[in-house]
């Protein structure tokens, strides 16, 4: 700088350091699994990437004072609140991030938008179509006041899925014929796993359908570049009665029971097919009973000119078959999605060093910060979240009517 060069006229180059950027002060509601994941996102985005606003972890909120204080310390939040209404009213918060079970999404989002905040809401957007519609209306009104709202479908932010989207849009697989998606987990295989909130309709809205099916519907539509026109589905609940969880139960399948059992009021598995307006057809499977499968989100797209395949358990890779190559040496090849010109890779490590699940939340925070700084609607929007909700509702309706083909409401 000037002092070091020793010349009175020398000036330092105008380097805007991250700490000189205007802050984006975040208040987050919820501090369990998704709260920890979103905390990572907010904490890291401004360090890995050059962002126009500097995310600040201003306040975290949860009902249990001691637990939320501990979460604040652990994840780096400056303060803790026990009442989300107090959090959304705080003058020193610009954005409210909702990481609670689905039954409180709509109420918190509406209050936060009314209080002038931007909103990020975990998926599924809401527990019902009616709630999601109210959220979309509120988001539209807020948009006119310069506030933005996004739903958190984080699997769009895996570099390999973002690259797949780019390749489909560039015509690399040509006209789409098939989309084949599964999202398989196994944390409910044990009938002694307790009845946590994800198994209660009044809290979670639905079971595997909303928890896992929402992700694969969004991802399939995002990659296909179009919305489903209709679906036929089946749902099943394999274990209808489970031990009640202890008050301290944490995580997906913590076994601490208080005694007594309760009814499982959601689906354990959902299986459905769908049609796209282009003529492509799709199949979907979402379950927590796929013994041995931990977080197996797999998607394959077959087009007239080629195919793409992705497996979340190998998330740095994308398989691509170029059907226009001579048959003698054509075949699926593995693209290692770690080059600096691959989506999101400009902020990370040299080629081959790889990313993980948590980076999707960093990328989500990054994209939202850019949209807010530029004053444009981030994607996926609340309207996108509502559309996914309508697909889920159509699957439930179809399942109720023995798999009758059910058009998606528009």
Residues 286-315 that bind ligand SOE (CB under 6 A): 295
The 3-state secondary structure of 221-252, one letter per residue: HHHHCCCCCEEEEEEECCCCEEEEECCCCCCC
x/- mask, ligand SOE, residues 241-270, rule CB under 6 A, reads -----------x------------------
Among 2, 22, 33, 314, binds ligand SOE (CB under 6 A): 33
x/- mask, ligand SOE, residues 329-348, rule CB under 6 A, reads --------------------
* DSSP labels, 163-222: HHHHHHHTTTT-SEEEEEEEEE--TT-STTS---GGG-HHHHSSSHIIIIIHHHHHHHHH
Q: Closer to ligand SOE by CB, 187 or 320: give it.
A: 187
Kindly state the smallest distance separating residue 152's Cβ from ligand SOE, in Å.
Answer: 9
Kindly state the smallest distance separating residue 278's Cβ from ligand SOE, in Å.
Answer: 28
Kindly state the smallest distance separating residue 185's Cβ from ligand SOE, in Å.
Answer: 5
Q: Closer to ligand SOE by CB, 59 or 125: give it.
A: 125
CA torsion, points 34, 228, 288, 335, in degrees to nearest 10?
A: -70
Kindly state the smallest distance separating residue 8's Cβ from ligand SOE, in Å.
Answer: 58
Q: Closer to ligand SOE by CB, 94 or 103: give it.
A: 103
Q: In what order do the strands lie in the sheet with 176-184?
A: 333-336, 317-322, 306-311, 296-303, 176-184, 281-287, 269-275, 230-236, 406-407
x/- mask, ligand SOE, residues 193-212, rule CB under 6 A, reads ------------------xx
Read off the DSSP letter of residue 381.
B
Peptide bond into 380 cis (omega under 30): yes
Kindly state the smallest distance separating residue 253's Cβ from ligand SOE, in Å.
Answer: 10
Kindly state the smallest distance separating residue 184's Cβ from ligand SOE, in Å.
Answer: 10
Read off the DSSP letter of residue 401.
T
Kindly state the smallest distance separating residue 215's Cβ from ligand SOE, in Å.
Answer: 6
As a whole number of angstroms, the distance between CA 122 and CA 105 comes to 8
Read off the DSSP letter of residue 28.
E
Number of residues that bind ligand SOE (CB under 6 A): 6
Q: Closer to ligand SOE by CB, 252 or 281: give it.
A: 252
Kindly state the smallest distance separating residue 271's Cβ from ligand SOE, in Å.
Answer: 17
Kindly state the smallest distance separating residue 310's Cβ from ligand SOE, in Å.
Answer: 15
Structure tokens at 335: 């693209």
Q: Closer to ligand SOE by CB, 185 or 364: give it.
A: 185
Residue nearest to ligand SOE (CB): 211
Kindly state the smallest distance separating residue 252's Cβ from ligand SOE, in Å.
Answer: 6
As a whole number of angstroms, the distance between CA 98 and CA 110 comes to 11
Among 58, 185, 319, 381, binds ligand SOE (CB under 6 A): 185
x/- mask, ligand SOE, residues 138-177, rule CB under 6 A, reads ----------------------------------------
Q: Closer to ligand SOE by CB, 53 or 184: give it.
A: 184
Q: Closer to ligand SOE by CB, 183 or 272: give it.
A: 183
Q: Nearest to residue 242, comparing CAs of 220, 219, 265?
A: 265
Residues 209-228 that bind ligand SOE (CB under 6 A): 211-212
Q: Closer to ligand SOE by CB, 33 or 349: give it.
A: 33
Phi, psi of 365 (to 5 degrees): -65, -45
Read off the DSSP letter of residue 26.
E
As a whole number of angstroms, the distance between CA 362 and CA 287 comes to 27
Report the 10 Å Cβ neighbour count for 408. Answer: 20
Residue 395 in contact with residue 272, Cβ under 8 Å? yes
Q: Closer to ligand SOE by CB, 255 or 336: give it.
A: 255
Kindly state the smallest distance separating residue 70's Cβ from ligand SOE, in Å.
Answer: 21
Q: Closer to ligand SOE by CB, 70 or 296: give it.
A: 296
As a whole number of angstroms, the distance between CA 316 and CA 161 comes to 10
* DSSP labels, 113-161: HHTT-EEEEESSS-SSHHHHHHHHHHHHHHHHTT--EEEE-GGGGSHHH
Q: Closer to ligand SOE by CB, 294 or 334: give it.
A: 294
Q: Residue numbers of the site for ligand SOE (CB under 6 A)? A: 33, 185, 211-212, 252, 295
């Amino acid at each position: 700088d000037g002092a070091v060069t020793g010349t009175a006229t020398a000036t330092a180059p105008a380097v805007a350091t991250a700490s000189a950027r205007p802050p984006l002060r975040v208040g987050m509601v919820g501090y369990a699994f998704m709260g920890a994941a979103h905390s990572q996102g907010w904490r890291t985005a401004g360090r890995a990437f050059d962002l126009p606003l500097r995310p600040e972890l201003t306040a975290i909120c949860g009902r249990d004072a001691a637990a939320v204080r501990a979460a604040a310390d652990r994840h780096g939040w400056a303060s803790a609140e026990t009442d989300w209404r107090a959090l959304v009213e705080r003058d020193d918060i610009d954005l409210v991030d909702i990481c609670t079970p689905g039954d409180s999404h709509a109420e918190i989002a509406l209050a936060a938008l009314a209080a002038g905040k931007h909103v990020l809401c975990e998926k599924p957007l809401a527990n019902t179509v009616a709630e999601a519609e109210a959220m979309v209306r509120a988001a539209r009104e807020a948009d006119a006041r310069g506030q933005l709202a996004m739903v958190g479908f984080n699997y769009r932010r895996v570099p390999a899925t973002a690259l797949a989207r780019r390749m489909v849009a560039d015509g690399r697989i040509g006209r789409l014929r098939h989309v084949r998606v599964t999202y398989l987990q196994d944390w409910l295989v044990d009938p002694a796993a307790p009845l946590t909130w994800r198994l209660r309709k009044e809290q979670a809205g639905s079971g595997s359908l909303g928890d896992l099916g929402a992700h694969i519907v969004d991802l399939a539509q995002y990659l296909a570049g179009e919305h489903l026109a209709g679906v036929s589905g089946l749902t099943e609940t394999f274990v209808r009665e489970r031990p009640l969880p202890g008050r301290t139960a944490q995580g997906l399948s913590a076994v601490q029971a208080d005694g007594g059992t309760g009814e499982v009021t959601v689906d354990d598995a959902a299986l459905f097919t769908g049609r796209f307006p282009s003529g492509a057809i799709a199949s979907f499977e979402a379950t927590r009973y796929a013994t041995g499968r931990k977080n197996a989100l797999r998607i394959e797209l077959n087009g007239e000119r080629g195919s793409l395949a992705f497996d979340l358990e190998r998330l740095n890779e994308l398989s691509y078959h170029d059907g226009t190559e001579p048959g003698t040496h054509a075949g699926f090849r593995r693209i290692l999605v770690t080059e600096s010109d691959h989506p999101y890779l400009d902020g990370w490590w040299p080629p081959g060093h790889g990313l993980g699940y948590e980076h999707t939340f960093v990328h989500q925070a990054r994209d939202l910060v850019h949209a807010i700084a530029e004053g444009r609607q981030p994607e996926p929007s609340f309207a996108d979240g509502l559309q996914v909700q309508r697909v889920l509702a159509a699957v439930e309706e179809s399942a109720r009517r023995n798999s009758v083909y059910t058009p998606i409401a528009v």
